[in-house]
Structures are given as C-alpha cells and as structure tokens.
Amino acid sequence: MGILPLHAGRWLLCLATVLAIGLLAVACGSDDESETTDGAATSPAAGSASGAASAKTTVIGFLYVGAVDDGGYNQAAYQGQLAVEKLPNVKAIKAENVPESAEAERVMEQMIQQGATIIFPTSFGHLDPAIKVGEKYPNVTFLHQGGLKTAKNVGTYFGASWEANYLAGIAAGKATKSNKLGYVVAFPISQTLLNINAFELGAKSVNAAATTTVVFTANWCDPAKISESVKNLKAQGVDVLNQHQDCPGAGIQAAEKAGMFSVGYHVDGSKLAPNGWLTAATWDWAKLFVDLVNQVRGGTYKVSQVRLSMADGAVKLAPFGKAVPKDVRDQIAATQAKLLSGQLQIFAGPIKDQSGAERIAAGAKQPEVTSLEQMNYLVEGVIGKIPN
C-alpha cells in the first residue's frame, strides 16, 4: 500500500478515536442503573437515547382541618409532612382549613387531579370523605390520622396519647392546691374520653381527692370558646388545666393569666406559660410518616390500623416546667419506666364509670387498643356529662 496523503492519515486517526470512544461508552453503559421511587434499581430501556431512566416523582397530599402553624394538632402533623418532603423524588401538596365535610372530598379529588397517589387526611372527620373518594380512586392510598375503621385503600394510624396524659395527671395531681382539675375538650370521641380518663386516673394515683371537671366546646379550634371555658373553670376553683383542642395555645395563655397551672397537648407550649407550665402529651410523626410513605412506594404497605405508643416514640412527654419539682419529675420518670415495660397498665381493672358501674372488671388486664378506642364513658372522679 502506498503512503496516504497527510490529510487522509489524520482523517483515519480521528475515525479510530471516535470508534474507540464509542466502544468505551457501550462498555460502560452496560452497567448503568437508575433509581425508581421505591428505591429499586432498574436497567435503562433498550434504545434509550440517554441510557438512563428518569426517576418518577411521587405526589403526596396532606389535608389539615386548621392552620399548620396552630401551635397544636395540625402543626404536629405538618412536622411529619416536612420529614416526608426530605425523601427523594417526592412532591408534597397541602391544603389547610379543610372542613370535615364534602369539602374534604373536593380537596382530595383536586389533589388526585394534580397527580397525588398518597393522601394523608389528618383530621378525625376526614375519614368518611376519604373512604368515599377512595372508592372512586382505588389506586390511591389514603392514610388517615385517628380513624376507627378502614377500607380497601384507606388505612389509619394514631398513638396512645392517653399514656402521656396519665403521666401529666401525676404532675397535675401533685400541683393542685384545690384538688380541682379542668379539661377543655372539643368533641366526645373515644380518643378524647381516653385522654380525660387517663388524666384523672393519673392524678388519682397520687392524690385520691383529685377530680377533673370537663367542658366540651363542640369545636376543634375556637380560641374565644376555649378562653371563656378556662375562665368558667377558674371560677369553679379549678387550678390546673388540660385540653384536647387542636389549638391549645389560647387555653394555656388564659390559664397563665388566671394564675393556673396548665398541661398542653400536641406540641411543647411551655413558652406560653413560663410560670404555670407543667408538661404536655406531644406527637412526633416524622418516623411513622416516612415509614408509611416508603411502604406504599415500595409496594409493601398493607391496610391496617397502625397504633403506636410512648415506647415507639410517636407519643412523648414534653419537658417539664419549673412548677414541677424534682421529686415529682423523678416519680413520673419511674412511672413511665413501668408503663413502657408493661408493668403498669393504666386501664387494668377495676375501672368504674361516673355512676359507679364497673366497666373493666377487677383483676382484668388492660383491654386491647382497638377495644379501648370504643370507650364511651367517663371514669369516677370526672365531673361533667358526655353530650348527646
């Protein structure tokens, strides 16, 4: 073969270089993988121009019955949403102040139109709307907070806040000078009755004379009603306040102004009551929310009623205020240890209701959570009637 011209030699050299690079790319591309939303790896589709599959984004909707900065129930749930938002390939959409009505259905359907495949309806009254929408969209998973029933694609979750309220009752029973405790409650659902009863039982465990007067406001968050209820309780001699309200801040501040001790709920509200703060039953939803989302995305989620306790970390006791002396703190810590170990069962028999009727027989063990969540009575020592 004769000697090629200089420009031809350069052309062949460039061609060889291109071919070499192409072969190298093919060799490297054969091991390339990309992550899907459930964390599983998958090979790129044949003929893909980019050689990589793009990760799919999971859209997750969150419904709140109030504002996410309410200093209570909705704020605690929103902290769980923020934890979910840290997951890869997640887009969260939220709706605040969603009534427990057909409006909740409209909001959830709107979220589904925006691509939501997982929805957290976080208020008790959002359950039936979620079940109704779920029937229309079987491929969407609904994770309801506190529901007492499930459906084909609607599961629930909640925590034993009554365990922490029992411990708070010990602080209240020790702090009271009048032996009169008060509880401002939204609605008489089983979970609020559980909290009231556990609080009274905790107080009674250290102060046999302690009673708990209950006021129902028929609203999850009405600061004016809450404040007025606190004033009325104060007028009756109550000197320790507890609440089952979505926005407990108004009650805590009203109690502080009235010179009362206070127990909060949902989040740590100690800054609102520098003098009278005792403690609070609080929520930490971060781990559970993340776990539930990962299960749904990974295809392992099974519809159920998930119920967590203080032992699981979803329910916690807020830091004590200066109104709780060290010996009481130590007593509460020792009681909590017995509770977590199972040595202490709050609702072990005998448990009697306001009329003196035995609801849990003497010697009987504490019923299962699903049974406790059917509670429809107030225990001895609680003053006030359950509204019809």
Has residue 165 got a pLDDT over 50? Answer: yes
Q: How confident is the model at residue 263 (pLDDT cuts 50, 70, 90)?
A: very high
- Average pLDDT for the chain: 88
Mean pLDDT lowest among 7-11, 137-141, 160-164, 348-352: 7-11
Has residue 168 got a pLDDT over 50? Answer: yes
User: Considering the chain, what percentage of its residues have pLDDT values greater than 90?
Assistant: 85
Average pLDDT over every residue of 6-12: 36
Predicted pLDDT at 46? 29
C-alpha pair distances (Å), 233 with each of 31, 156, 173, 255: 71, 35, 16, 10
H helices within 236-350, ranges in order? 249-257, 286-298, 326-341
Q: How confident is the model at residue 228 (pLDDT cuts 50, 70, 90)?
A: very high
Predicted pLDDT at 174? 98
Predicted pLDDT at 306? 97
Q: Which long-range contacts (CB under 8 A, 24 or more apart) does 91-95 make?
A: 91/57, 91/58, 91/59, 91/60, 91/115, 92/59, 92/60, 92/61, 92/62, 93/59, 93/60, 93/61, 93/62, 94/61, 94/62, 94/63, 94/64, 94/68, 95/61, 95/62, 95/63, 95/64
Predicted pLDDT at 310? 97
Q: How confident is the model at residue 41 (pLDDT cuts 50, 70, 90)?
A: very low
Predicted pLDDT at 55? 73
Predicted pLDDT at 343? 96
Copy the structure tokens of residue 318: 């807020």
Sequence-ordered list of residues with C-beta below 8 angstroms from that of 301, at least 6 positions apart, any chain: 141, 155, 292, 295
Copy the structure tokens of residue 154: 């609607």
Distance in angstroms (rounded) separating the CA atoms of residues 324 and 364: 33
- Whether the full predicted model's pTM is greater than 0.75, yes or no, is yes
User: Considering the chain, what percentage of its residues have pLDDT values greater than 70?
Assistant: 86
Q: For the chain, list the domains and their CATH numbers.
A: 58-159 (3.40.50.2300), 161-282+315-383 (3.40.50.2300)
Query: Cα 253 vs. chain centroid, distance in angstroms?
Result: 24
Task: Check if the beta carbon of residue 83 is closer than 8 Å to that of residue 290.
Answer: yes
Q: How confident is the model at residue 297 (pLDDT cuts 50, 70, 90)?
A: very high
Task: Check if the beta carbon of residue 282 is closer than 8 Å to that of residue 263.
Answer: no
pLDDT digits (tens, 9 = 90+) for 327-379: 999 999 999 999 999 999 999 999 999 999 999 999 999 999 999 999 999 99
Predicted pLDDT at 151? 98
DSSP helix/strand/coil, 314: coil
Task: Check if the beta carbon of residue 243 is closer than 8 Å to that of residue 70.
Answer: no
Angle between helices 161-175 and 190-206 (to 10 degrees): 40
Q: How confident is the model at residue 77 (pLDDT cuts 50, 70, 90)?
A: very high
- Note the residue count of the chain: 388
Cα torsion through 193, 195, 201, 205, rounded to 10: -170
Task: Check if the beta carbon of residue 154 is closer than 8 Å to that of residue 306.
Answer: no
Distance in angstroms (rounded) separating the CA atoms of residues 227 and 235: 13
pLDDT digits (tens, 9 = 90+) for 192-212: 999 999 999 999 999 999 999
Residues forming beta bridges with residue 358, ordered by sequence position? 352
Has residue 29 got a pLDDT over 60? Answer: no
User: What is the rounded end-to-end Cα distance, in angstroms, of the chain?
Assistant: 106
Q: Left if phi > 0, otherwise alpha if psi is -120 to 50, otherwise beta: which for 97?
A: left
Has residue 12 got a pLDDT over 70? Answer: no
Q: How confident is the model at residue 38 (pLDDT cuts 50, 70, 90)?
A: very low
Q: Which long-range contacts (CB under 8 A, 24 or more apart) does 355-362 make?
A: 356/380
Is pLDDT larger for residue 50 or for residue 63?
63
Mean pLDDT lowest among 1-5, 63-67, 119-123, 197-201: 1-5
Is pLDDT larger for residue 14 or for residue 94?
94
> Which 8-state DSSP code applies to residue 257?
H
Give the H or E element holding residue 84. helix 73-85
pLDDT digits (tens, 9 = 90+) for 233-260: 999 999 999 999 999 999 999 999 999 9
Has residue 49 got a pLDDT over 90? Answer: no
| Strand pairing category for 34-35 and 58-63 | unpaired
